[in-house]
A and B are shown apart, each in its own frame.
Chain A
Amino acid sequence: MKYTLMTALLGSAMMLTACGGDKPAETNNSKAATPAAATNSEIRIVGSSTVYPFSTKVAQEYKNKTGQNVVVESTGSGGGHKLFCDSTGADTADITNSSRRQKKSELDKCIANGVDEVVEVKVGFDGIVIANSRNGVDMPLTLKQIYMAFAKEVPTSDTNCAMIANPYTKWSQIDSSLPDTKIEAYGPPPTSGTRDAFVEVAMEGGAKKVTCMSTLRKNDKKAFANMAHTLREDGLWIDSGENDNAIVQTLVNTPTAIGVFGYSFLDQNGDKVKGAAVDGADPTFENIASGAYPISRSLFFYIKAANVQANPGIQKFALEFTDESAWGPGGYLEEIGLVPLPEAERAKYRAAVENLTAYSQ
C-alpha cells in the first residue's frame, strides 16, 4: 500500500506539472468568457437578437457563395458591444450586430482596448411592436398609455410630478377604453438594443406627453431620462431572454399577455400575433418606412476593421449584406421583415464598407 500510494502521488505530481505547462499563453481575455474558438477561416459575429435573423440569413447566403463559415451568436446588443470591444485578435468577435446606435461610452471603451477602427453600417429600419395573440382583443395604444403602463414610478397626476410607485395593475385603470385584463408584458432585458430603443423612443415619448414631465425634461434632461427609462419590477413587466421566438410562443399561449419586440418577428409570425396600433398608426411596413409609426429605430452592425487584413472574408460578408439583392427593396432581407434604407443612405454605407472607413462620435 505504501508503494502504491507513493507511485500514485509521483504520477499525479508529474501529470499536474504537465497540465500547468502545455497551455499556451492565455488569460489575457479570460475575464470575459472565451468565445467559441474560431480559426482564422471563420467569421465571428455576436450581438443583437433583432438583427440575428438577418445576419444568419446573410451568413447562409454567404456560405453558399464562398464556402466560408460564419458563426453567429445572439447575445443582445449590449452583450455584443462588450465582447466586440474587449480586444482585438483573431479569435474575438469580428462583427457585432446592434439594434441601436453604439453609445459613445462603448466606442470609447473600444478605443481604450485597442479596437480603434470601427466601421459603422446602418442596415435598415425596424419597428418595435406591442404585440398580442391573434386570439386576444385589439388594443390601440398611445405612447402616454405605454409609459403609464410600464414605468416603475409614475407622476401622481398630469400636473403633479411627485412620483409614486406604479399603481396600475390593469389596462382599464389607465384608460377605460382599454381591456379589463391584468397588465402582463414580456419584453427585452437590458442587454438588448430593443430595450434601449424602446425606452428611448416609446417611454420617453410617452413621458413627454405628461405636462409636468415635459417641464422636467426642459429643466433636467438626465433626471427625466432616468425616470422615463426605469421599467417596473413588480412582475408585470417581465424581462425575457434574448430569444424573441420564445416571446411569440408565450403570447400565443397567453392571449391576455403582450410582447415587445422587433417588427420582423411580427412579420414572420403574422398568423399567430398581431401588433397594436400606436398613436393611431398600425405597425405596417409602409408606416415604419415613412415614420408614421412612432416606435421605429435603425439597425446596425459594426466591423472590426483591424481584423479584415487577416480575414478578408469579413469585408466580403459585409459586402454581401450591403448588396442590393440582400438589403435593397425586393431583396431577401426585406422578405423576412427588414425595412430597407432610402437609396442615398444605402449608397453611403455601401461606400463605407467598400473603403472600410472608420467612424467616430
Chain B
Amino acid sequence: MELSIPIYCLLIVIMGALTFVLAKRRARAVAQGADRTILAQSFHSRPNFHGLFAGGLVMLLSFNAMLAGLKIGFPGFATIGLMIAFAALAFLYARTTVRADFKARIWVERFVKSLLLICSVIAVLTTVGIVLSLVFESLRFFKEVPVLDFLTGLQWSPQTALRADQAGQSGAFGAVPIFAGTFLIMLVAISLAAPVGLMIAIYLSEYATPRVRAWVKPAIEILAGVPTVVYGYFALLTVGPTIRNFAESLGASVPTQSAIAAGSVMGVMIIPFISSLSDDVINAVPQSLRDGSLALGATKSETVKKVVFGGALPGIIGAMLLAISRAVGETMIVVMAAGTAANLTANPFEAVTTVTVQIVTLLTGDSEFDTAKTLSAFALGLVLFIITLILNVIALMIVRRYRERYD
C-alpha cells in the first residue's frame, strides 16, 4: 500500500517538532538544576539550539529512512516503521547530547551553512546541466551531420522523411541562413534601440528635472516588464500590417512577417536595457569632471560628448553587448512576427527565421528524439548558449578592464 509523500512529510515534521520541544525542555531543565532558578550548569548553547539539533537530527534520519524505504519499495507501513525506528535511534542519541559541554549551536550553524552552500552550488549544477544536456544531444546530432556542414552549410531543410517509403526534404542542415536571419534581426533591433536608449539615458541624467525623471523612468521600465509574447502579438497584429500597408502605398510588396517588423518591436523591447544600464554608468562619472568642463565654457552637449561619454564608454559598450545578447536569445517576438523561411538575405523587408524560431519549430509537434531533425534543435541551442556566453563575458571584461578609476 502506497502512502503519498505529503503524509510522510507530515510525519517527519510532527516527529521533529515533538523532539524539538522535548529537547529544549530537557536542556532548560538540566541547565537550571533542581532549583529552577540558578544556572546549575553553564551551557555552551542555548536550549533552543539543543532543541534544533535534536529535532533536526530526528527529521534528517527519518527523511533518509523514508527515501530508503521508497527506493527499496517497501509498502506503506513498513516505510513508516523504518522511519519511526530511525527517529527513535536519533532521539536516543540526541538525548545524550543535552549536556553543558555539547556545542549544539555550532552543529546547527554548520548545518545551516552547508544548506546555504548547497543553494549556491545549484547555480553551478544548473550551468553544468545546461552544458551537459546541450553537448550530449549535440554530439548525437554531429554523429549524423558533420560540424563543418552545420556551421557553414547554406541550405537548411530539416524536414526529413518520416518513413522509408516517403520522400521528404533532403535533410540539409546548413545553419548559415538561420545565423544570418538572427544577425539581421538583431541588427535592426540594435540600430533602433542603441541611439534611442542612449539618448534617453543622457537626457534623463543630464537635462531632465527630477519631476520629469520621476515620471519617465518608470514609464521606460514598463517597457521592460511587458512579456515578450505581448510584444510578439503586437508585432503580428499591428506593426506588421502597418509596415505592409505603408510599403504597399509606396508600391512595394512586403510580407507581414518580415525582419523589420520583428526587429523594430524587439528594438523597442531592449530600449530599457540600454537606457537603464547606460544611465547607471553615466551617473557614475563624477560631477567634478562635468563641472570642470562646464567651467571652461563648454555647453552641456559638448560636455556629454567629449567628457562624460568617454568615461562612460566601456559601460555603455557593455550595455550594448548585453542588449545584443538579449536580442539574439529572444524567442516569442520572432516566433510570432518573423517567419519560418530559412532565407539568406540582407534585405530586412523579407521574411527570415532565427535560431530561436527554428528551435521552437523543430521541438513542438513531432516529438521524437533520435532523428537528426530534433537533435539539430539542441545543436542550435548549443550555438545560442555559446554566443550569449561569449557576449556576456566580453561585456563583463570590457567593463572591468576599462573602467576608469576616478579617484
Contacts and interface: CB of A to CB of B under 8 A. Distances in A.
A310 B110 CA distance: 53
Contacts of A14: 64, 67
Contact of A103 (B165, B361, B369): B165
A49 to B, nearest CB: 9
Interface string B148-164: 00000001010111111
A239 interface: yes
Interface residues of A, number: 47
Given A21-B70, A22-B71, A33-B369, A8 B117 contact: yes
Interface string B216-254: 000000000000000000000000110010000000010
Contacts of A241: 340, 361, 364-365
A215 B149 CA distance: 38
Interface string B353-367: 000000001001111
Interface residues of B, number: 48
B117 A5 contact: yes
Interface stretch (A57-65, A229-237, A288-296, A298-306): A229-237
Contacts of B165: 103, 105
Contact of B71 (A17, A82, A190, A226): A17
A44 to B, nearest CB: 14
Given A22-B71, A235-B342, A241-B340, A82 B111 contact: no
Contact of A4 (B64, B117, B244): B117
Interface in A1-40: 3-5, 7-8, 11-12, 14, 17-18, 20-22, 31-33
Given A14-B67, A230-B167, A253-B241, A240 B367 contact: no
Nearest to B110: A3
Contacts of B121: 8, 12
B285 interface: no
B113 interface: yes
A22 B166 contact: no
Nearest to A78: B162
A102 to B, nearest CB: 11
B366 A253 contact: no
Contacts of A11: 114-115, 118
Contact of A190 (B166, B253, B361): B166
A35 to B, nearest CB: 8
B114 A235 contact: no
A253 B240 contact: yes
A4 B119 CA distance: 13
B368 interface: yes
Main secondary structure of the interface of B (DSSP, over half): loop
Interface in B157-180: 157, 159-170, 172
A7 B114 contact: yes
A344 to B, nearest CB: 31
Interface in B336-361: 339-343, 361
Nearest to A22: B70
A253 B257 contact: yes
Nearest to B341: A238
A240 B340 contact: yes
Interface string A75-110: 110110010000000000000000000010110000
B256 interface: yes
Contact of A239 (B68, B159, B343): B159
Contacts of B51: none
A18 B159 contact: no
A264 interface: no
A21 B71 contact: yes
A190 B255 CA distance: 25
A235 B343 contact: yes
Contact of B169 (A3, A82, A105, A239): A239
Given A235-B343, A241-B365, A189 B159 contact: yes
Contacts of A82: 162, 366, 368
Given A75-B365, A76-B366, A103-B163, A190 B168 contact: yes
Contacts of A126: none
Contacts of B114: 4-5, 7-8, 11
A242 B365 contact: yes
B235 to A, nearest CB: 12
B370 interface: yes
Given A229-B167, A241-B361, A254-B255, A18 B67 contact: yes
Nearest to B374: A33
Interface string A270-301: 00000000000000000000000000000000
A106 B163 contact: yes
Contacts of B256: 250, 253-254
Contacts of A210: none
B366 A191 contact: yes
A204 to B, nearest CB: 11
A177 B63 CA distance: 79
B366 A31 contact: no
Contacts of B244: 253
A229 B165 CA distance: 10
A320 B343 CA distance: 46
Contacts of A17: 67, 71
A4 B121 CA distance: 13
Interface string A236-266: 0011111000000010011011000000000
Contacts of B118: 8, 11-12
Interface in A93-140: 103, 105-106
A238 B64 CA distance: 56
A36 to B, nearest CB: 10
A254 B167 CA distance: 28
A199 interface: yes
B163 A78 contact: yes
A152 to B, nearest CB: 8
Contact of B366 (A78, A229, A231): A78
B379 to A, nearest CB: 18
Interface string A214-233: 00000000000110011101
Given A196-B166, A233-B157, A241-B340, A256 B67 contact: no
Nearest to B164: A105
6 contacts: A3-B110, A31-B369, A229-B167, A230-B167, A241-B365, A242-B366
Given A21-B71, A79-B365, A79-B366, 18 more contacts: A3-B110, A4-B113, A4-B114, A7-B111, A21-B70, A32-B368, A74-B365, A76-B365, A78-B162, A78-B163, A106-B163, A189-B159, A190-B159, A190-B166, A233-B155, A235-B342, A238-B341, A253-B241
For the complex of A and B, the 9 pairs showing the least CB-CB separation, nearest first, are A21-B71, A253-B256, A18-B67, A79-B366, A8-B114, A190-B168, A229-B167, A7-B114, A78-B162
Interface of A: 3-5, 7-8, 11-12, 14, 17-18, 20-22, 31-33, 74-76, 78-79, 82, 103, 105-106, 189-191, 196, 199, 225-226, 229-231, 233, 235, 238-242, 250, 253-254, 256-257
